[in-house]
Structure 1
Amino acid sequence: MRKYEVLRAVVILQAVCMVVLTVVVVIKVWPGNDRPLEKQTQIDDGSEKAEGQQTVAKVGAATITAADLKGQLYKQYGDTVLRTMMVRKAIDLEAEASELSVSSEELDRELVKMIEGYDSENRYFEVMQEQLGMTKEQVLEDLRYKLLLEKIAIVSIKVSDEEVDKYISEHSEEFTSRLQLHLQWILTESEKEASSVLQLLTDGEDFSMLARTYSIDSFTADAGGDLGLIDADDPFYNRELLDTASRLQVAEMAGPIKVDGGFAVIRLLERQMTTTMTDRRLRDEVRKQLALERADSLTDLEDELLDKYGAVKTE
């Protein structure tokens, strides 16, 4: 699996709880209506309908009412959404009792990790909105609760300075600066096709447009062949492709390059060098990582918090 696909999967898994919450909002306000559906009791001819019986869609002679929609959404997502809401209430209570909170600085640092591989913070939020329907506010709220739960999980776990030093010494490669390449590519089935595409690019054709037209990589074609930021030594990518990309100047193209699945033409959009963390930041991050490895799973912790605060369904 290419790193681009891995990133997509991770994003979807991180956001699934917020997705179902977003879906449920549909039952409250239908596009084009200014008032909640359950409040709209008047129809065009002035007669009244029972609450929830307003028609929100038609298929031939059949109709779908607000009650139908609400019932189906509740059946599919009700338990998941309810658990998410209950867990967040329990987290709030535990955080208050333990005097724990998440600072804006902590939120910003975690966000930097999440947007790695994207052009910018704005692009990351655009992808979340386009692919998952999540607003920036929803992403940040989801992230805040994740960090708060982690703090609760490790609040009583002690990690010594010696353990932190040993980990840093044994995993020094994780903390060194590294080169990252922002690439576009067009993947074709044959070397001849790749050569033809490269000639079109040399003649002045737009790379993004040709990627949408000719690339057989379904994951990146619609995005103009954008692969995002890639570590120059990323093991998920073809070695020859990365070596070639490392030698390119910004905006320069190369190909055909034989890769898994065909032949590629690439263009370098930018190169970045990651910076190492300050000593204090590095030690804090390692300490947290080691503590989380010793802690119970976050799912188990959620269950414990629900039990602690007597969370029960009332219907």
Structure 2
Amino acid sequence: MRKYEVLRAVVILQAVCMVVLSVVVIIKVWPGNDRQLDGRPQTNVGSGEETTEPSKPGQTPITDPSQQSGGSRIIAKVGKEIITLADLEGELHSQYGDAVLRTLMVHKAIDLEAAASELSVPAEEQSRELDKMIEGYDSEEHFYEVMQEQLGMSKEQVLEDLRYRLLLEKIVVRSIPVSDEEVDRYITDHPEEFNEKMQLHLQWIITETMKEANSVMGLLSDGEDFAEMAHAYSIDSFTADTGGDLGLIEKDDPFYNREMMETASRLRVAEIAGPIKVDGGYAVIRLIERQMTTNMTGSRLRDTVRKQLALERADSVTKVENELLDKYDAVKTE
């Protein structure tokens, strides 16, 4: 299971690198890049519109308009200093170029191997995996909003990235045998992983003292909005700006205070409870919704366990990627 989670993390990192590459592409084609920073159109050599401005003290004179074409185009100024497109591209390339190039090469190698081995990702399989990723978010729309805000990934990019991850998993596990007896034993030994579970969608407000928490409770009982109170009074910087929203949490999640989760499981929707002593202070909580996860059975359960056991035994992601690159003679030409 640990390698499975590492695989997820690596793919997310690859996605971030692709975002960096997209920044370079956007800069190259963004409408309006034919204008200077002050809004005046660029002039072209031979157009008959060349102009030469006297340079200010300390500035590098730009007497030849051709110097502002291509990579020499000025895209920012800081005081008397200028930053060109070439400066930006050079910095992005030096920091992220190798990682982005490797990602592109790996994706090409995955496509070739998938075609050669007749591997594909059915829509139903991709949809099930997407449902797992969306768990804990308010909705599918909210999930895509977070992906856009935090990783700069559009819905199409998320789905494409997921497709590559699932293809790579198929390539990784295809040669790792897992017997039916091993699958049965794992299901018997770990029933808690596959049983129906309660999930609670919570908001919280964390205060330093019980007195402050009681004051918050009083204001809430007077009709104050919970999200606004969290924004104004919660000392939890990770959730205060989102109204104290914790998303969906499993009732027995070990990372949250047990007393708080037990209390939350007994609340009615929209009901508030507190103060509850937690790490870092005192919590006032509100239940937004309660959900029950469906338990897996039959062939879907067995296939899931078989893949999970195979991934735990698999080589590292980097090693598998390197083997694919070697197999398809991947080389840098520059």
Report if TM-score (shorter chain) is over 0.5.
yes
Q: Partners in 1 of 2:70 and 2:150 — Cα distance?
A: 33
Per-residue CA deviation, residues 37-60 of structure 1 (Å, 9 max, x unaligned), is 5xx498625344332111111111
Residue from 95, 107, 111 that aligns with 1:88? 107
1:238 correspondence with 2:257: yes
1:266 aligned partner: 285
| Cα displacement (A) at 1:289 | 0.9
Residue from 212, 217, 222 that aligns with 1:193? 212
Higher Rg of the two aligned structures: 2
Percent of matched pairs sharing the same residue: 65
TM-score by length of 2: 0.86
2:13 aligned partner: 16
1:3 aligned partner: none
Note the residue ranges of structure 2 that are not aligned, 5 or more in a row: 1-5, 44-49, 51-64
Letter in 1 for 2:179: S
Q: Partners in 2 of 1:213 and 1:140 — Cα distance?
A: 37
Q: Partners in 2 of 1:116 and 1:166 — Cα distance?
A: 27
1:105 correspondence with 2:102: no
Letter in 2 for 1:157: I
1:156 aligned partner: 175
The alignment partner of 1:286 has SS state of helix
1:34 correspondence with 2:31: yes
2:54 aligned partner: none
Q: Partners in 2 of 1:270 and 1:139 — Cα distance?
A: 27
The alignment partner of 2:283 has SS state of strand
The alignment partner of 2:322 has SS state of helix
Q: Partners in 2 of 1:144 and 1:308 — Cα distance?
A: 21
1:69 aligned partner: 88
Letter in 2 for 1:276: N
| Cα displacement (A) at 1:92 | 0.7
| Cα displacement (A) at 1:159 | 1.9
Contact 1:41 1:51 in 2 (8 A): no
1:44 correspondence with 2:63: no
Q: Partners in 1 of 2:243 and 2:193 — Cα distance?
A: 31
Query: Equivalent residues in 2 for 1:215-254 (5 A)?
Result: 215-254=234-273
Contact 1:150 1:298 in 2 (8 A): no
Letter in 2 for 1:288: K
Contact 2:73 2:84 in 1 (8 A): yes
Q: 1:203 to 1:64 in 2, by over 3 A?
A: same
| Cα displacement (A) at 1:141 | 1.1
Contact 2:264 2:285 in 1 (8 A): yes
Contact 1:182 1:268 in 2 (8 A): yes
Q: 1:21 to 1:274 in 2, by over 3 A?
A: same
Aligned length: 304
| Cα displacement (A) at 1:86 | 0.5
The alignment partner of 2:247 has SS state of strand
Contact 2:138 2:247 in 1 (8 A): yes
Root-mean-square deviation (CA), in Å? 2.1
Q: 1:306 to 1:207 in 2, by over 3 A?
A: same
Residue from 15, 22, 26 that aligns with 1:25? 22
TM-score by length of 1: 0.91
Q: Partners in 1 of 2:166 and 2:17 — Cα distance?
A: 20
Letter in 1 for 2:249: I
Per-residue CA deviation, residues 63-111 of structure 1 (Å, 9 max, x unaligned), is 1111111111111100000000001111111111111011111111111
Letter in 2 for 1:21: M
| Cα displacement (A) at 1:32 | 10
Contact 1:188 1:263 in 2 (8 A): yes
Q: Partners in 2 of 1:166 and 1:293 — Cα distance?
A: 16
Q: 1:141 to 1:288 in 2, by over 3 A?
A: same
The alignment partner of 1:29 has SS state of helix
Contact 1:102 1:148 in 2 (8 A): yes
Note the residue ranges of structure 1 that are not aligned, 5 or more in a row: 1-8
Letter in 2 for 1:241: M
| Cα displacement (A) at 1:114 | 1.4
Contact 2:19 2:151 in 1 (8 A): no
Q: 1:220 to 1:12 in 2, by over 3 A?
A: farther
Per-residue CA deviation, residues 132-191 of structure 1 (Å, 9 max, x unaligned), is 211111111111111101101111222222221111111111110011110000001011
Contact 1:107 1:144 in 2 (8 A): yes
Contact 1:154 1:295 in 2 (8 A): yes
The alignment partner of 2:263 has SS state of helix
1:278 correspondence with 2:275: no
The alignment partner of 2:136 has SS state of coil
1:167 correspondence with 2:186: yes
Deviates more, 1:168-177 or 1:13-22: 13-22
Contact 1:41 1:54 in 2 (8 A): no
Q: 1:11 to 1:245 in 2, by over 3 A?
A: farther
